[in-house]
């Protein structure tokens, strides 16, 4: 029988020594490349200044202001632009004053109101009695001594005749009123006229009966 091996069992490495060496070299090369790129970008693109201000902000603030469209498209002459308008060399541009408004036309004067000629006042003449026979005194009233005044309203036609009679104010005695109506009914009048033309009219005639002679 052989004697047992007195040396302990050595562990088998996970990767061969050559692979470990290759990985170490690759890691070192990658780290070196990263440092070179970082240093180069810091040298050419300084994003942050030493005082903590943003470099991009300072670059933007130092840019020149853009020119107006007319000046940018011009031919370089400070007194002209692309639109053809001449710009003053000194002082601001002054707009021309607006044209003056024409005066408002005055409304035509209204003609004075025409006044109608005054209407002519018609000339009226009342009827006038031409033939007026006296009334007959009633015998009964005369014997009793009864008297009074009867006011008769007579409608006179255009030919002067009496068309209608009626008692406007009686005497208080029927016989006297009837005698007054009979008397005026027989009267003849000169008719009333209006502007020279005969017209119908009304006439109030008082008839007085007095028993004393």
Output phi, psi for 120, to 5 deg.
-70, 135
- Residue 9 φ/ψ, nearest 5 degrees: -75, 120
Residue 20 lies in a domain: no
Assess if residue 8 is contained within a domain. no
- DSSP β-bridge partners for residue 12: none
**Count of structural domains, the chain:** 1
CATH number of domain containing 138: 3.30.2420.10
Out of 66-75, 138-147, 156-165, pick the least confident.
66-75
| Spatial distance between the Cα atoms of 88 and 95, rounded to a whole number of angstroms | 12
106 occurs within a structural domain: no
pLDDT of amino acid 67: 53
Are 151 and 183 in contact by the 8 Å Cβ rule? The answer is no
CA-CA distance, 128 to 189, in Å (whole number)?
Answer: 5
The encoded tokens of residue 169 equal 């104010």
- Residue 145 maps to a domain: yes
For residue 183, tell me if it sits in a domain. Answer: yes
Give the 3-state secondary structure of residue 86.
coil
When pLDDT is averaged across residues 135-156 and rounded to a whole number, the result is 93
3-state SS string for 60-75: HHCCCCCCCHHHHCCC
Task: Tell me if 75 is assigned to some domain.
Answer: no
pLDDT of 42: 66
Strands 128-131 and 197-199: unpaired
Chain mean pLDDT for the chain = 74
pTM of the model: 0.43
Query: 44 or 125, which is more confident?
Result: 125
At residue 13 the predicted structure's pLDDT band, cuts being 50, 70 and 90, is low
pLDDT in tens, 165-207: 999 999 999 999 999 999 999 999 999 999 989 999 999 999 9
pLDDT value, residue 149: 95
Tell me which residue range forms the domain holding 182. Answer: 124-209
pLDDT value of residue 162: 94
Spatial separation of the C-alpha atoms in residues 118 and 123, rounded to whole Å: 15
Q: What are residue 208's DSSP bridge partners?
A: 149
In a domain, residue 24? The reply is no
pLDDT digits (tens, 9 = 90+) for 53-96: 444 444 444 455 555 554 444 454 544 444 444 444 554 445 55
The answer to the question of residue 70 being in a domain is no
pLDDT beyond 60 at 139: yes
């Amino acid at each position: 029988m052989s004697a047992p091996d007195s040396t302990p069992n050595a562990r088998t490495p996970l990767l061969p020594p050559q692979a470990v060496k290759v990985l170490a070299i690759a890691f070192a090369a990658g780290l070196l490349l990263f440092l070179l790129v970082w240093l180069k970008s810091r040298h050419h693109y300084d994003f942050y200044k030493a005082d903590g201000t943003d470099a991009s902000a300072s670059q933007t603030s130092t840019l020149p202001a853009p020119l107006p469209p007319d000046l940018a498209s011009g031919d370089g002459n400070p007194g002209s632009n692309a639109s053809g308008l001449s710009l003053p060399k000194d002082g601001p541009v002054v707009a021309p004053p607006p044209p003056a408004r024409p005066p408002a036309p005055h409304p035509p004067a209204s003609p004075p109101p025409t006044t109608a000629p005054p209407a002519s006042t018609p000339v009226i003449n009342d009827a006038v009695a031409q033939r007026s026979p006296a009334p007959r005194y009633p015998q009964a009233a005369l014997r009793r001594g009864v008297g009074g005044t009867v006011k008769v309203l007579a409608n006179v036609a255009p030919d002067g005749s009496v068309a209608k009679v009626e008692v406007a104010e009686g005497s208080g005695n029927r016989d006297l009123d009837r005698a007054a109506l009979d008397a005026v009914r027989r009267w003849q009048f000169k008719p009333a006229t209006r502007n020279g033309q005969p017209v119908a009219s009304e006439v109030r005639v008082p008839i007085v009966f007095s028993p004393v002679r």
